[in-house]
Amino acid sequence: MLHLLAKALGWICYNYLQMATSSPQYDVIIVGAGPGGSACAGFLARAGVSTLLLDRARFPRAKACGEYTSPASAAIIARLGATEAVVAAGMQLHRGMTVVAPSGQRFTIDYTEAGDTAAASYATDRASLDDALARHAATLGADFHDGVRVEDLLRDAAGHVCGVCSPQLGEVRARWVVGADGAKSTIARLLGVTRPPPLRRLGLAAHYCGIAMGDVGEMHLAGGDYCALNPLAGGIVNVSPVLDVNPANVAAAGGLTAFFEATLRRFPGVVAQMQHASRVSAVRGVGPMSSAVSRTADPGWMLLGDAAGFYDPFTGAGVHGALRGAELVAEILIPALAANDDPARTARHYRQVRRREFAAKRQADQLVQMFVQHPAAMNYIAPRLAARPAVRARLAALIGDLIDPRAVLNPRFFWQLLRP
């Protein structure tokens, strides 16, 4: 009798341990604490979803970026309840961006011309912005760990992703893993869904003081490349050229900093603006300025932000795309987790929603890049935009993510833009 009782207790303990070691420790693990990952963690945690937010860097950390977001980002940050945190981090408001064509012709994309007098873009250095959003997610209940590197994914008996493996935390299980870890996503690579990038352009960025600018940034174009001057808080200006370049050219120029300084001399308007400027940060690079994946979700995992694919956001829409993607993940996962929905159906739903949300914007980005990379085309439309406020206002609404891109991607708008 005692033998049978001991055997029964042993069986119960064994099954309890099996359940304990295989059951999820979190509902969702998010890898990458940039704007998309942190916003997603915040939205989920606020809804009561147990969320682990990880990043391999120690925060705050600098990141090569134009540090310019479209006006629609402000609304998402407000819905997250993070406006106060972002303002405290040193937010600068912009009412628009002046574009300088290769010919020297200027026109200003003024968001107030789009019909929303309150519209303005956010400009915040990424070290401060990302740190503020990650800390805000933590205040909402997310478990945030920086300095944690994810090396592998855990899978269940069906082959579905069910957690991550990290040298710092060991094996951590979850019902869903969200990859928000950028264009060179470790999660996308581990999943085997990465594809060759559609553009191979290099982005460079550095901070300067001594450049007099107001509440409008500048975008200078030359030879198919461009350079942004983006005023930040405290009299700092982000200077960030984007160009097609062979990595060997960087080494031949004497390194990244020397190459950066030589690149700026290709833009006469930038040189004129920087006569009394002093660099106050290291030069940082990022590339390629695009990424592609074959799939954005399957049972147990989702990708968002640059990890889900992006196309050189000349319009400053990179951060907005990450923030909006974070909302979509939360809007889909919160009810799916509560109802214990079929993961395959949840993943399929996310793929469909992402496609509807971003396909037209991707086409708009490609259209803008077509003009950017062809100086003759930009020189043709620049005087027309300068002289046609109604068309310029429509473009401002598009670039500011204030309207559905499909309202602009039509023959009528193109005729208004291109007619003699």
Contact 33, 54 (CB under 8 A): yes
Residues 126-185: tens digit of each pLDDT: 999 999 999 999 999 999 999 999 999 999 999 999 999 999 999 999 999 999 999 999
Please check whether residue 98 lies inside any domain of the structure: no
Please check whether residue 397 lies inside any domain of the structure: no
Structural domains in the chain (count): 1
Domain that holds residue 174: 21-92+122-198+290-372
Please check whether residue 399 lies inside any domain of the structure: no
Reduce the secondary structure of the chain to three states and give it as a string.
CHHHHHHHHHHHHHHHHHHHHHCCCEEEEEECCCHHHHHHHHHHHHCCCCEEEEECCCCCCCCCCCCCCCCHHHHHHHHHCCHHHHHHCCCEEECEEEEECCCCCEEEEEHHHHCCCCCCEEECCHHHHHHHHHHHHHHCCCEEEECCCCCEEEECCCCCEEEEEECCCEEEEEEEEEECCCCCCHHHHHHCCEECCCCCEEEEEEEEECCCCCCEEEEEEECCEEEEEEECHHHCEEEEEEEECCHHHHHHCCCHHHHHHHHHCCCHHHHHHCCCCEECCCCEEECCCEEEECCCEECCEEECHHHHCEECCCCCCHHHHHHHHHHHHHHHHHHHHHHCCCHHHHHHHHHHHHHHHHHHHHHHHHHHHHHHCCHHHHHHHHHHHHHCHHHHHHHHHHHCCCCCHHHCCCHHHHHHHHCC
The enclosing domain of 46 has a CATH number of 3.50.50.60
pLDDT number for residue 118: 63
pLDDT number for residue 35: 97
Residues of the chain short of pLDDT 50, as ranges, are: 1-21
Please check whether residue 186 lies inside any domain of the structure: yes
Which of 292, 259, 286 lies closest to 202 in space, CA to CA? 286
Helix 411-418 to helix 389-399 angle (10° resolution) is 130
Please check whether residue 56 lies inside any domain of the structure: yes
Q: What percent of the chain has pLDDT over 70?
A: 93
Separation CA 284–CA 267 (nearest Å): 19
Separation CA 12–CA 17 (nearest Å): 9
pLDDT number for residue 17: 36
C-alpha pair distances (Å), 276 with each of 72, 209, 211, 258, 259: 34, 9, 7, 18, 20
Show the tokens assigned to 72. Answer: 């629609």
Please check whether residue 368 lies inside any domain of the structure: yes
Rg (the chain; Cα; Å): 23
Please check whether residue 336 lies inside any domain of the structure: yes
Neighbours of 348 (CB within 10 A): 14
Residues 302-336: tens digit of each pLDDT: 999 999 998 877 766 789 999 999 999 999 999 99
Please check whether residue 267 lies inside any domain of the structure: no
pLDDT number for residue 3: 46
Could you give the count of Cα atoms lying within 13 Å of 270 in the half-sphere of its Cβ? Answer: 28
